[in-house]
Structure 1
């Protein structure tokens, strides 16, 4: 092959075929002249390619024993199909037959007809996905074919695709946001690219320093939007709740008005389908939602409303507050369109800046390069596992089973949580097992296929739990974990933060997938062999540490908390942590080698030195709490910092005053100051009305308002009362309710605060935190300062 400006030309035929390096934007499977045709849009350094893959066939599998029954049913359908006995088998060792279709219509009809009569396998995998999966294509590709230039893109027919793992695309983004009435009637659309900021607004032209395209009605707005997207020609459209809301509303209005939303790269219309989730397909482009991407990158916030995230991430506020926002948008559309245009545009800019600052597209790209899932496909841990595991399984001679075919249905235990020893400690060391569950999978060869093969050769298998046995050599998941661990290490070395985070999330999801009844590979012998091994490892580690003469005061899933003598200096604590880490790792290496003849990949790390450290009791009891503690560490700048776990200060359903009080009273406790004085100061602030704006509760509705009938929590009562009184509308499942506690009960917070029940806040937000402190006098607050509070 010759290399000419990065494009490869293959010799030896009448037509030289260029080979392009790129990244898949979108994928489709369609009928073309009665046959299945796969279409892949690919972003390359030389432009965008539309690649057609022909002569592919859809497939599902049946057990060979069911062939005659299947033929009887399929022949009645008069559809074109072919059967092929394969060198594949089911997990129960039954041979299987592939049922192939060159037409999508026949494939779907056959699925429906056979599904109720016999077991069919892997019928839910779209062939556009299977084609990539079986070739280990995860985003990056080499593509070749017979080319022809089209307007704005290159078309390749008879295309062939091959994995290209090292290609990283540079996407052209467009942030967009719609403004509309409560009924979805469109007012305007904002568009922000790296070089332009545009608002398309319905109304008569007005003088403005903004770039506004004035249109006369919704039809003109939709048609203008199509033209602008075509002109700006983005690879990726980004937004906030953009798939479930903006795209869905645009699609509904376009259908209602008879307009084709022709925003695909080839002029094709946007397609929106709704099921368990909304799916948007724009040929040649991708729609990526900011909320989904942030959640999948494991960002945690009190709420994912754009106003809150913009404030937290960018330090910026929206032009309109959340209170009566819809009413204000409607008012601005009718009375102040320029203000609405500014608001619309600012939302687009905020989304653009959040994506840029948090590198969200880089995360989405890294995730696709690891799993092969579409860029816009968020969530999908089960789908990611299937993408990675299924082609390996096929090459080992197996097809995937259907859900629950093994008939086992017992629950696996959760992570090991040790009883805690509550109290205030001067020095506590925390030792963490690095990626404990993935390390167990790797060390003990836990694997779906390995479980089947281990059952075939039990004498040489690794004994798991609940009668699970695992092959020492025939498995894939341990090798996959090893590859991910190596890739994560390399990403750390290269400073690739988003890739490192994506790998971490995928590795940590493996146990959850195997324990999910929605995964075709779910088997409780797999999940229990991971968690119960984790219990064994944690208990053994505790015993070893105690045999060395140290006290273990708590343990949680993969962390062990070790008390160290008060007189130890920080340097001595650090050295002891390293010593314990080295000793425990050596013991695990020795134990796995001698007892199981296995190589240990368990690795415990000295993670943290807390000084001091406080483990509270369960409220109202003497028993130590679990998953709740606070400790002081020295940060990178050498300053003391408090780390809270599970306490009120990190919980969204406690008021701001409770969080600030807990921070202050723990600081006083650690600094040996008067906790009563701190407590009284906060009580005085509450009673005097100085902190009314910090007495607001926030809690989400877990279900529709009307579903709350018997047990009605305070936030639901506040929402119901406000709705019935006509003060608010549109509250439903997922809505965050801000409310205060008045003398007449919970009231929805609308900006005005009056008639607050201060006694409630003292009893429910201050005293419970005070009472968890060690060695406190319950009556001290009432007596201190010669005051008497009616508590």
Structure 2
């Protein structure tokens, strides 16, 4: 017996047109188990300008189940609209295409029924189910209301497969924590092996493996499937195996198949939608949560986060060892297979990825496995509020794509400095939106306002309504929610809210967003420019010097050496005075409440700003410093320099770190430079000479410009083909190579002598000269003064 009221977390959503009308289906995770909600006979709606009523009615005469209704809504051009209501959602798409040929836009016809139902009720991920007809695990025609605080415990399974080099399926591992199993193709060994802590089930055929897999999912019924490249590799290969052997592949709830879709903008990129279950790839989830790694391979991430990895060596050894284990020691292959599942589970737990993805769904209003989606999330929050202010949304492309100013970057003053403090505006663009009421509807209202007192003047002649707007209230709600999340130490929710708020300016500047408007987004970015310039003037009036600034941060040289306590005290005073100045100025000159807040970020005891290579002009977004915390803890910080970039060799990064740290600490550095160059030439640093670079395209796509990494990859795959190993780089990937007398050569087949002169002139010298030039030194002067160096 189901309760009359039930809280759930939306796992999947879909719509379909049936004879009776449009149906919406939601699968929920609840404390009572998985539940399916079906809403029948849902009417879909779009909008058209009232002046086009006659031609629209002519088309509707041939489309049963559609009608026009009078509404009190209008477009951004102040044109009144009528509602077009359809029994079937697909009718709106058909009508939109017909009207487009006549130059008549049908507005919001692309908002899908299951999304519109939620957004108009201000539902994101948590729902309260009321009423309806219940039948086992299905509730029909109930009412859904927001339940923003509901967080169920989701049932998770980690999935991984092992295959041959040609993607022939060998085994399937599933780690559901309580039920751990490996389905292995072949016969069990004659003798029992070592004890294992999972079930190992041998299957005579691949079809039998897949049938066992279907049964496992029906019996264990997980909410979430996780893995590493789980969609692009594991599920894709499983579907391919099922198709090849005539098996059904039914991982969705109610034994339903995967709905495969391709990404319109990424060739070969797949989506795997399945009713009632979500699939979350570990790589995509880490990137969504703003994690960064030099490599996102399971081995690299496991080593970084867990301090351990897989049991088999490099890519070639791994494939050969997998093949050997399959032929000779299948239990050992099963152990390797389940080990990958376990690593993925532990990474998700360590990085709190599932919690982040759930909070992201609660924040954005999108399905939990919907990655990216900033534009969709903006629309989810904005459309219902806009409707309540009497407006309908424009269609994508209504305003032609036009460039607009980006964030403010101050000209830097290169050199070495003592005592530099960095102040940072907290969530700059969201705070500008809140303070200056920047908003698409507000822009329309402000542009049409007749009373100057009711508008706020923005950059480049823009005007925004003081009374009618949506986005400032949305930002305020999210801001307060983030403050509460930080108070209760819910880091996942805080991060999700921060990312959503910070995406809004970018969304307004995205040409594929229906609210794209260069004037509106410029009102945000140019206000940021103005703020940074005024902040710089304020600081310099206090007798300090701004040596750099970037979007929301300003780097302030205190003009002389200060103790850490003195620098922190000066920064605190500047923060207080700048914030007070904004509050007073905005209230007295503009009648606005201040939500701009600058805060202390870092004190650099020593700081270095380089020049652009080969010039005297200061660089941007590149610096290094010795930071000191409130407790006196020191830390070397690198931003944008070779030390922080993965496309430079370890030789260069280690050299830059060593040279800068010696200069910052006041230690002798000249001997370090000459010794480092000498030991490089002597072959004592050969393990640091490796370039690791990403191939962003297929190898055959490089025709005119062929960079070193591509030349190395082609050599590697030619060698792989000769020795009957799989080619690794035809579709891209990461290549490791060194520079030799014969050019770039991959580690797999290096045979030429290393070109040490290349490493001195292309790696060490540019780094050294950028650092030594302000002190009147150079790499050549230091190294050529040593007679025995070359």
With normalisation by structure 1, the TM-score equals 0.94
1:564 is matched with which residue: 540, 553, 558?
Answer: 558
> Which residue number corresponds to residue 500 of structure 2?
506
1:162 is matched with which residue: 125, 145, 154?
Answer: 145
> Which residue number corresponds to residue 365 of structure 2?
372
Do structure 1's residue 175 and structure 2's residue 176 form an aligned pair? no
Once the two structures are overlaid, the 10-residue window that deviates more, 380-389 or 614-623, is 614-623
Do structure 1's residue 768 and structure 2's residue 766 form an aligned pair? yes
| Gap change, CA 1:357 and 1:307, over 3 Å in 2 | same
Once the two structures are overlaid, the 10-residue window that deviates more, 558-567 or 532-541, is 558-567
Over residues 725-779 of structure 1, what are the superposed CA-to-partner deviations in whole Å (9 max), with x where a residue is unaligned?
Answer: 4456252555122221111001122286762111111111111111111314324
Do structure 1's residue 594 and structure 2's residue 580 form an aligned pair? no
> Which residue number corresponds to residue 524 of structure 1?
518
Do structure 1's residue 429 and structure 2's residue 421 form an aligned pair? yes
> Which residue number corresponds to residue 13 of structure 1?
none
SS in 2 for 1:552: strand
| Gap change, CA 1:730 and 1:87, over 3 Å in 2 | farther
Cα distance in 1 between the residues matched to 2:101 and 2:165 = 43
Once the two structures are overlaid, the 10-residue window that deviates more, 754-763 or 420-429, is 754-763
Deviation, 1:416, is 0.9
How many pairs does the alignment contain? Answer: 770
> Which residue number corresponds to residue 402 of structure 1?
395
Do structure 1's residue 381 and structure 2's residue 358 form an aligned pair? no
2:85 is matched with which residue: 78, 82, 100?
Answer: 100
| Gap change, CA 1:391 and 1:426, over 3 Å in 2 | same
Over residues 44-82 of structure 1, what are the superposed CA-to-partner deviations in whole Å (9 max), with x where a residue is unaligned?
Answer: 111121111112112222222222222333434x44322
Over residues 308-345 of structure 1, what are the superposed CA-to-partner deviations in whole Å (9 max), with x where a residue is unaligned?
Answer: 11111111122233422445434443344333222211
Deviation, 1:425, is 1.1
> Which residue number corresponds to residue 733 of structure 2?
735
Cα distance in 2 between the residues matched to 1:768 and 1:575 = 38
Cα distance in 2 between the residues matched to 1:147 and 1:571 = 68
Cα distance in 1 between the residues matched to 2:59 and 2:164 = 52
Do structure 1's residue 341 and structure 2's residue 306 form an aligned pair? no
> Which residue number corresponds to residue 712 of structure 1?
706
> Which residue number corresponds to residue 555 of structure 1?
549
| Gap change, CA 1:730 and 1:73, over 3 Å in 2 | farther
Contact 1:184/1:253 (CA < 8 Å) preserved in 2? no
- Structural RMSD (CA): 2.1
Contact 2:158/2:345 (CA < 8 Å) preserved in 1? yes
Contact 1:701/1:732 (CA < 8 Å) preserved in 2? no
**Pairs within 5 Å for 1:21-36:** 21-36=7-22
> Which residue number corresponds to residue 37 of structure 2?
51
Cα distance in 2 between the residues matched to 1:711 and 1:262 = 46
2:535 is matched with which residue: 534, 541, 544?
Answer: 541
Deviation, 1:384, is 0.8
Do structure 1's residue 744 and structure 2's residue 730 form an aligned pair? no
Cα distance in 2 between the residues matched to 1:610 and 1:465 = 34
Contact 1:62/1:119 (CA < 8 Å) preserved in 2? yes
Deviation, 1:680, is 2.4
Deviation, 1:34, is 4.1
Contact 2:603/2:629 (CA < 8 Å) preserved in 1? no
Structure 1 unmatched runs, 5+: 9-17
Deviation, 1:684, is 3.0
Cα distance in 1 between the residues matched to 2:324 and 2:516 = 53
Do structure 1's residue 573 and structure 2's residue 559 form an aligned pair? no
Do structure 1's residue 243 and structure 2's residue 236 form an aligned pair? no
SS in 2 for 1:125: coil
Deviation, 1:196, is 2.9
Deviation, 1:510, is 0.9
Cα distance in 2 between the residues matched to 1:394 and 1:295 = 34
Deviation, 1:472, is 0.9
Once the two structures are overlaid, the 10-residue window that deviates more, 318-327 or 711-720, is 318-327
Contact 1:176/1:191 (CA < 8 Å) preserved in 2? yes
> Which residue number corresponds to residue 191 of structure 1?
174
> Which residue number corresponds to residue 782 of structure 2?
781
**Pairs within 5 Å for 1:109-120:** 109-117=94-102, 118-120=104-106
Once the two structures are overlaid, the 10-residue window that deviates more, 458-467 or 670-679, is 458-467
SS in 2 for 1:768: helix
SS in 1 for 2:25: strand
Structure 2 unmatched runs, 5+: none
Contact 1:54/1:159 (CA < 8 Å) preserved in 2? no
